[in-house]
Amino acid sequence: AAGKLWGGRFTGGQDPIMTQYNESIYFDRVFYSQDIRGSIAYARANKNNKLLTEHEFSEIERGFKQILQEWQDNTFKIQPGVDEDIHTANERRLGEIIGKDIAGKLHTGRSRNDQVATDMRLWLRDQLDTLEGYLVDFLKVIAARAEKDIEHVMPGYTHLQRAQPIRWSHWMLMYGSFFASDLQRLRELKARVNKSPLGCGALAGNPFNIDREAIAKELGFDGLIMNSMAGVSDRDFVVETLQWGSTLMMHFSRWAEDLIIYSSGEFAFVKLADAYSTGSSLMPQKKNPDSLELIRGKAGRAFGHMTGLMMSVKGIPSTYNKDLQESVEPLLDHVKTVGDSTQIATGVLSTLAIQPDAMLRSLTPDMLATDLADYLVRKGVPFRETHHISGQCVALAEKENTPMDKLSFEQLQGIDARFEKDVLGVFDYQKSVEMRSAKGGTSKSAVMEQIEAVKKALAGQ
Ligand code: ARG
């Protein structure tokens, strides 16, 4: 331990298992470029404070440029047992390149506590930009397909029982609404991630009056985490990312579940492209929706990381404690899960073949029982009464073992004399969906308006 960055006060060695247990280099190495950017910005601020000479600063910058190149070329050699984390590794290497006398000045007033928080925020900020791009692509496919497939009518369900006819696009735009909110939440989250904790020191702040604003500006942060203790102990930006992504995955999971059901032989509303399906090793006829099942399964994994991290954070006393290192791996995994899932979802949806005939075949006249009740409402009968009358028609059709639309006009009149000849016009699915033209409904004009709303959400309006 005497050879470690922090080894001054240590005389005994470290248990080798402890060394491994403690080290994070094998996952936090992904932050190598952020760590270097942060260090250069920090050194520049110290140069401006006259803690570093021009020459010392340019040496530090030169050293880091070489280290960056080494990481990029995959020639950086991690020293097992020595390079505890990315910060230690980069600083060790800097000393080798420019000499320890100058490299040893870099960390003045800084702590790995503000350093790691900075690295993570810089990294996450860029990742969230990428995830936003994926989500925007997915929403564009939703909007485009909703428009293209607007003619097709299918059963809408409650309790997974046939309820009322809807446009296929209306189903699609329900998810459009969910995912548009996810996009909005992501944009709000990004603003909270993109704040600078650099210059907070270990916890109490910087004693050399470092210009934190200048550092933040150089790093492209939009302001500071002001309180230095908050700066080093805050992992809310990670928790919130996991919460956001979990909500997104929850929506993807429901969406996937719908499509898994709709792709079953019993429904056959949709056919998944081969590109997103797999076969069975035993049953030659099988084509399974594995892509959708993985999305549904990975939602569970996302929620696990979210609750796991909240559990880890909830009992931590202020300020930095090593528990916080446990926020890194879930974050890395989460960002990959969400990014992969969104891209797969986009692929599935853009290649999905819909089977409008099967959708039509699944519509049954009793799904128009509400429309039959509404017909009498338009003749001035109170809805509670019409509901009952329509229910009697459903019962009669069931008793006669005939589809409801095949009941004769006389049979309908036998139930209620207020039925007139035009009642037979009720049994028309297209008419039924077109009736629902109030905002948010399933008529064509109402669906078109929803498509516009999704497009507006994409533009951040
Ligand atoms: N690898 C550490 C982390 O990810 C860096 C911070 C170490 N700070 C400390 N005081 N031990 O949290």
CATH number at residue 127: 1.20.200.10
What are the angstrom distances between the C-alpha of 445 and each of 340, 441, 452?
34, 9, 11
CA 56 to ligand 1 centroid distance, Å:
26
Are the beta carbons of 332 and 30 closer than 8 angstroms?
Answer: yes
**In a shared domain, residues 67 and 172:** no
Same domain, 56 and 165: no
Instruction: Give domain status of residue 330, yes or no.
Output: yes
Q: Which of 361, 394, 429 is the last residue of a domain?
A: 361
Whether residue 142 sits in one domain with residue 88: no
CATH of the domain at 372: 1.10.40.30
Distance (angstroms) between ligand 1 centre and the Cα of 222 equals 24
Same domain, 139 and 281: yes
pLDDT at 83: 96
Among residues 382, 364, 371, 365, which one has the least CA distance to residue 426? Answer: 371
Quick check: is 458 in a domain? no
Residue nearest to atom 11 of ligand 1 (CA): 322
Residue 244 CA, ligand 1 centroid: distance in Å: 25
Q: In this predicted structure, what is the pLDDT of residue 276?
A: 97
Whether residue 404 sits in one domain with residue 350: no
Closest CA to ligand 1's atom 4: 325
Index of the ligand 1 atom closest to the CA of residue 24 = 1
* Token pair for 197: 């904790």
Residue 2 has a pLDDT of 66
Given 338, 361, 384, which residue is the final one in a domain? Answer: 361
Look at residue 124 and tell me if it is in a domain: yes
Domain membership flag for residue 455: no
Reference 356, options 252, 447, 270; nearest CA is 270
Which residues are paired to 128 by β-bridges? none
Helix (H) / strand (E) element for 148: namely helix 112-148
Which pair of tokens denotes residue 299?
Answer: 């939602």
Its pTM stands at 0.95
Mark whether 346 and 388 lie in a shared domain. no
Return the pLDDT at 429.
97
- Among 107, 325, 326, the mutation site with the greatest number of ligand 1 atoms within 8 A of its Cβ is 325
Q: Which residues contact 118 (CB under 8 A, 6 or more apart)?
A: 34, 38, 196, 197, 198, 219
Ligand 1 pocket: which of 29, 39, 84, 85 to mutate (most atoms within 8 A of CB): 85
Considering the domain architecture, whether residues 354 and 381 belong to the same structural domain is answered as no
pLDDT the model gives residue 284? 87
Tell how far the Cα of 203 is from the centroid of ligand 1, in angstroms.
13
Ligand 1 pocket residues where CB is under 6 Å = 24, 28, 85, 112-113, 116, 320, 322, 324-325, 328
Residues with a catalytic annotation lie at 159, 280
Position 460 in a domain:
no
d(C-alpha 163, C-alpha 166), whole Å:
9
**Residues 316, 229 share a domain:** yes
Residues 251 and 340 in one domain: yes
Task: Tell me if 457 is assigned to some domain.
Answer: no
Shortest-distance atom of ligand 1 to CA 84? 1
Among 28, 84, 112, 328, say which to mutate for ligand 1: greatest number of ligand atoms within 8 Å of CB: 112
The CA 209 to ligand 1 mean position distance, Å, reads: 23
What is the Cα–Cα distance from 291 to 274, expressed in whole angstroms?
A: 10
Q: What is the pLDDT of residue 282?
A: 87
Query: Is residue 383 located within the same domain as residue 276?
Result: no
- Looking at the fold, whether 238 and 325 belong to one and the same domain comes out as yes
Nearest residue by C-alpha to atom 1 in ligand 1: 85
Q: Is 204 helix (H, G, I), strand (E, B) or coil?
A: coil
Instruction: Give pLDDT tens digits along the chain (461 positions).
Output: 767 888 888 888 889 999 999 999 999 999 999 999 999 999 999 999 999 999 999 999 999 999 999 999 999 999 999 999 999 999 999 999 999 999 999 999 999 999 999 999 999 999 999 999 999 999 999 999 999 999 999 999 999 999 999 999 999 999 999 999 999 999 999 999 999 999 999 999 999 999 999 999 999 999 999 999 999 999 999 999 999 999 999 999 999 999 999 999 999 999 999 999 998 888 888 889 999 999 999 999 999 999 999 999 999 999 999 999 999 999 999 999 999 999 999 999 999 999 999 999 999 999 999 999 999 999 999 999 999 999 999 999 999 999 999 999 999 999 999 999 999 999 999 999 999 999 999 999 999 999 999 999 999 88
Q: Which atom of ligand 1 is nearest to the CA of 320?
A: 10
Question: For the purposes of burial, counting CB atoms within 10 Å of the CB of 385, is it exposed (0-12), middle (13-18) or buried (19 or more)?
Answer: middle
Residues in a beta bridge with 162: 157
Q: What is the largest CA-CA distance in the chain?
A: 102
Does residue 452 belong to any structural domain of this protein? no
> Domain containing 227: what range?
112-361
Domain count, the chain: 3
Ligand 1: centre distance to CA 325 (Å):
6
pLDDT in tens, 353-379: 999 999 999 999 999 999 999 999 999
pLDDT score of 347 = 98
Whether the ω angle into residue 319 lies within 30 degrees of 0, i.e. cis, is: yes
Boundary residue ending a domain (299, 331, 361):
361
Shortest-distance atom of ligand 1 to CA 328: 4
Q: 2 lies in a domain? A: no
Rounded Cα gap, residues 117 and 171, in angstroms: 42
Whether residues 382 and 310 fall in one domain: no
Atom of ligand 1 nearest to the CA of 85: 1
